[in-house]
Amino acid sequence: MKFLTIVISLFLYTCSHARSIEDIQTSGEIVIAVYNDFPPYSYIENGEAKGIDVDIGKKIAKSLNVKPKWYFTDSDENLDDDLRNVIWKGNPVHKTRADVMLRVPYDYDYMRQTDATTGALQTDMVIIKSPYHAEKWVIVTHKDSIPTVNTLGIFAYKTIGVELDTLPDKHLSMQNRGLLRKNVKRYAKFEDAVKDFKAGKLDALAGLKSQLEFLLDYKKNQVQYYMTNDVQGIKSIWDIGIAVRTDARELSYHIDGLITKLHKENTLQKIFDTYHVTYTKPISYGP
């Protein structure tokens, strides 16, 4: 019987249609995709899944009276690839597919992008909704080296660490006709940039506000660090939400109602507080 249950479970994860809420509840678990090694949202500590998205995922599972089954995924070349491999088509190797994916940019312009050949929406296989936080790009500096950032031109003389191939990396590298490029230090892992910054090997960092607050324990160390409100010249704030397959509308409505409830009850605020990260109400919620 146990073997039969496993076979049925695997079939439900890889079948051509999204699982209904009834299917999920019958299986006893919901497959939740989160990004691998991405603190403070999702990471493994002492063999246990932790992070903001993990805590939100637990709330989703509890609301359906099932257990969460974590699907840790690495980011691909772009969001289209992530959504295809995780939500609507499945991993190209093991074919596993998640019921829901967290930390997906909730961006109207992206959701309205069309295929140049067919004219179809690029996201027509997924539903992106339930924004639960407004994320930001910011710059953090050592106050004794850079007390404030009035212009990016200061990085013609000061070093700044970025994660490779992120928007701050591309933006800073192209600033002033490439004048800053020599002082933009690129890292495959942002945590390594943070280590060098803490060690005094970098004057500044450009990255996600949530990551910088968490990795630097910024709220306790504001005496030594300065943080900007944005990164000049780029879209510095956007909402993040969830994604499900287009044919999982019932599940999307359920999660949407739950996220709204968690916001109104200040549960989201408490989750972010746990990780010493500032919770910012989604832009789409309005003023």
What's the CATH code of the domain at 163? Answer: 3.40.190.10
Question: For the chain, how many residues are written?
Answer: 287
| pLDDT given at position 184 | 97
**Do 211 and 187 touch, CB atoms closer than 8 A?**
no
Q: Are residues 37 and 61 in the same domain?
A: yes
Count of structural domains, the chain: 2
Q: Are residues 163 and 223 in the same domain?
A: yes
Residue 232 lies in a domain: no
Provide the domain limits for residue 169: 135-227
Which residues of the chain carry a pLDDT beneath 50? 1-14, 121
Q: Are strands 184-187 and 160-163 parallel, antiparallel or unpaired?
A: parallel
Residue 270 lies in a domain: yes
| pLDDT given at position 96 | 82
| pLDDT given at position 265 | 96
Peptide bond into 40 cis (omega under 30): yes
Residue 233 lies in a domain: no
Per-residue model confidence as pLDDT tens digits over 30-42: 999 999 999 999 9
| pLDDT given at position 19 | 93
Please give the Cα distance from 74 to 36 (Å, whole number).
Answer: 5
Q: Are residues 276 and 212 in the same domain?
A: no
- Average of per-residue pLDDT values in the chain: 88
Q: Are residues 82 and 196 in the same domain?
A: no
Per-residue model confidence as pLDDT tens digits over 130-149: 999 999 999 999 999 999 99
Measure CA of the first residue to CA of the last residue in the chain; give whole Å. Answer: 54
Q: Are residues 21 and 140 in the same domain?
A: no
Q: Is the pTM of this model over 0.75?
A: yes
**Do 279 and 269 touch, CB atoms closer than 8 A?**
yes
Q: Are residues 205 and 245 in the same domain?
A: no
Per-residue model confidence as pLDDT tens digits over 151-181: 999 999 999 999 999 999 999 999 878 889 9
| pLDDT given at position 234 | 87
| pLDDT given at position 81 | 82
Please count the helices (runs of H) and the strands (runs of E) in the chain.
10, 11
Q: Are residues 109 and 6 in the same domain?
A: yes
Q: Are residues 116 and 36 in the same domain?
A: yes
| pLDDT given at position 114 | 53
